[in-house]
Amino acid sequence: MAKPTGFLEFKREAAGERPLTERIHDWEPIHLHLPEERLHQQAARCMDCGIPFCHKGNILNGMTSGCPINNLIPEWNDLVYRGLWREAYERLSRTNNFPEFTGLVCPAPCEAACTLGIHDPAVTIKQIEFAIIERAFDEGWVKPNAPAHRTGKTVAIIGSGPSGLAAADQLNKAGHRVTVFERADRSGGLLMYGIPNMKLDKKLVQRRIDLLAEAGIVFVMNTEVGRDVTAAELQAQFDAIVLCTGATQPNDLPVPGRALNGIHFAMDFLQGNTKALLDGELEIGDWRLKAAQSPISNLQSPVFAGGKDVVVIGGGDTGTDCVATSLRHGCDSLVQFEIMEMPPMARAANNPWPQWPRIYKMDYGQEEATAVFGEDPREYAIMTKRFIGDEQGNLQAVETVNVRWLPAENGGRPTLEEIPGTTQTWAAQLVLLALGFRGPEQTVAQQFGVVTGPRTNIEAEYGRYTTNVPGVFAAGDARRGQSLVVWAINEGRGVGTAVDAYLMAE
């Protein structure tokens, strides 16, 4: 540890974000970045504690604590403090294939587990991580990971999200010929189409995909297993198959009126928006789609929030992204429903460090909505009862009731109780369902004949990743269910090791 008193001398300083009233008028990244001298100070706050809980990802009380990919955080913090940026990059790249992604969109369970966080604000780990990788790109240190020799073995990876890309990178470095199949028109999966541009600049995603392609990985877009190619064809062509399709079956809300026009899954909304932006069909700074006057070409399920009363049902990152995107479209009003009660302002007694802190916070979307409409858009402990439409079948309103959660009895789960006399009606011409995901779509699993579990996840033991079909592996959200980007990278790296051992018989 280069500065033993660093955590005593320097306060936590995050770079922050662009001004709220400026950034809601465009789709540019919201994040700002600290200059080098202040980054040295932030890195100096790392205590190099005896047991660095930030290193190891664990599930505590149902939430991730610590880093699932085992980043050597105190080591590269020390190197940044000493100005040894290249060494810091080399140390970071030992454990993380894509620090530019985790440095922007990971919720930072490493910071939640930071020992300093017991009594002071945690080290700005995520901020330093992103600074390291961007410095590496600026200096030209990031090179394609082309192998010294090829093994002659071939691998097909189905899905180009974070787990698929991590698996492809690992297997390519091991010398295998890797082909990544993606059903969308661009590679990147969730990273490309599931996260808005202001949160994760798509130029960063494409930059990494271009590097992987330079290293020898082949990307095949607009190709869906079961439609454009069969499982049998892939098994005949490749020595191993890795299923990294993600968990893309959204949870629905089967209440009266669900079939009305104007009710959409959150991902349909977000994906259509990003595609329109990347295709040049989304006006920058005008809050309006060109489709307001003319149809959008090649855009599946375009959904536009401009001039509408919008209700987002569900919290989490996806709900926040829907809030932020609706604001940029120019919605007339915005409310976000959460069925859970409002979290406490500080840790509860049953939520101690190093668990993920279940406390009240405002993410970027809620901050923006507050700047536009004057208050946090979230309504807590509220349940949707029905959707109300007009005679033409168009959504007009949402009816809700407030609820309370009753304590669990005899080791069971808490129960939900409606509160009499709390029925409300909310004007809405657009509802976005951000209720999480059940598991992977079943087409690919059925094509390959792999066994799935009760939640439709592909059955494959963690650490081994083998399915019931020889030579077919599964990893990421397709195997574990909806989770964090950093867990997807963890599983992509793990399945790479498992497939390599299978192919080389060692």
pLDDT tens figures, 477-495: 999 999 999 999 999 999 9
Mean pLDDT of the region 173-198: 97
Predicted TM-score of the model (pTM):
0.94
pLDDT tens per residue, range 249-291: 999 999 999 999 999 999 999 999 999 999 887 764 444 444 3
Region of 117 please: left (phi>0), alpha (psi -120 to 50) or beta: alpha
Please tell me the distance from the alpha carbon of residue 39 to that of residue 54, in angstroms, as a whole number. Answer: 19
Q: What letter represents residue 294's amino acid?
A: S
Q: Which two tokens stand for residue 34?
A: 């600290």
Cβ atoms < 10 Å from Cβ of 166? 29
Q: Which two tokens stand for residue 297?
A: 């070409």
**Average pLDDT across the chain, whole number:** 93
Please tell me the distance from the alpha carbon of residue 388 to that of residue 381, in angstroms, as a whole number. Answer: 21
Assess whether pLDDT exceeds 50 at residue 230. yes
Question: What pLDDT is attached to residue 299?
Answer: 36
Assess whether pLDDT exceeds 80 at residue 506. no
Q: What letter represents residue 268's amino acid?
A: D
Of 374, 279, 277, 376, the residue nearest 329 (C-alpha): 277
Domains of the chain, start order: 6-139 (1.10.1060.10), 154-248+437-504 (3.50.50.60), 252-433 (3.50.50.60)
Q: Would you say how long the chain is, in residues?
A: 506
Q: What letter represents residue 228's amino acid?
A: D
Please tell me the distance from the alpha carbon of residue 364 to that of residue 366, in angstroms, as a whole number. Answer: 6
Sign of the Cα pseudo-torsion (237, 476, 445, 317, in order): negative
Judge contact between 236 and 292, C-beta under 8 A: no
pLDDT tens per residue, range 433-471: 999 998 999 999 999 999 999 989 999 999 999 999 999
